[in-house]
Amino acid sequence: MKYYQIGISAEPKIIGVKNGIHQVEINKNAMELDEHFKEFLSFFEYNNDAFWKNQAEIQKIEIPEIYATMLKKAKVTDIMRYTPNISFLYSIHSQKYIDILKLFKTPDLSLFEVKIENVFEKYFLLFFKTILLEEINFEKSLLFTGHELLNNMKFHNIKNLDEYFDSMKEFPLIKFKKISIPKSYSNLDVIRIRPTVAPFYSEKLIDTLLDFGISELEPKYKNSITLDFC
């Protein structure tokens, strides 16, 4: 299968807003005052050092609906960015979008319902189980600094996780050109890897989402990190 990283459109003609990228505002202040959300917010905290190792616990978390409103002039789309942010939960997805995902092979998927005022379709924050740094084969991956357009790209020979951490200290902007993960993940249509911001979707899943009118989906056909299985 071919894979491409995906993003979300920021085009005003698609998302409606012209002065930012967010379409939805959640009532996070009310959540912080509600005991029912205490465990949820504590777990999805950026400084939670145990977050990645305890991903399996996410499916056990149960919370009430999260209340939200559309921002002024924002259009209702199947994927929407929201504010204020909850760490590791990057966007809100419609029931239609979730139903399409469920037709494909995905890693463990956790959903948290978002009730948007005057919007009748169900929406959800979603989290995919994420491949950890320890599973990356650094010897078969390619990492670089610099920019292709500036003709100053430099590739770095990194053999293991310790060398990766060392390189991050020396080159904070180091990036993956190719990332190699175990072959056991090659049957999935969605792959999320910890050091990459955008998830990888299979070409078949991307085509299906676009065929169903998910126009705000932006596959990174030209600048996606290459996904390798070893």
Can you tell me the mean pLDDT for 63-85?
96
pLDDT at 115 over 90: yes
Give yes or no for a contact between 149 and 223, defined as CB atoms under 8 angstroms apart. Answer: no
Look at residue 18 in the predicted model and tell me its pLDDT: 87
| pLDDT tens string 78-88 | 999 999 999 99
Indicate the pairing of strand 175-181 with strand 226-229. parallel
Q: How far apart are CA 172 and CA 114, in angstroms?
A: 35
| pLDDT tens string 147-183 | 877 788 899 999 999 999 999 999 988 999 999 999 9
pTM beyond 0.85: the answer is yes
| pLDDT tens string 131-148 | 999 999 999 999 999 887
Q: Which residues are CB-neighbours of 153 under 8 A, at least 6 positions away?
A: 144, 145, 146, 147
- The average confidence (pLDDT) of the chain is 94
Give yes or no for a contact between 126 and 227, defined as CB atoms under 8 angstroms apart. Answer: no
Q: What letter would DSSP give residue 21?
A: S
Nearest residue to 212 (alpha-carbon basis) of 43, 90, 93, 38:
93
Cα angle for residues 192, 124, 202 (degrees, 5° grid): 35
Can you tell me the mean pLDDT for 202-208?
98
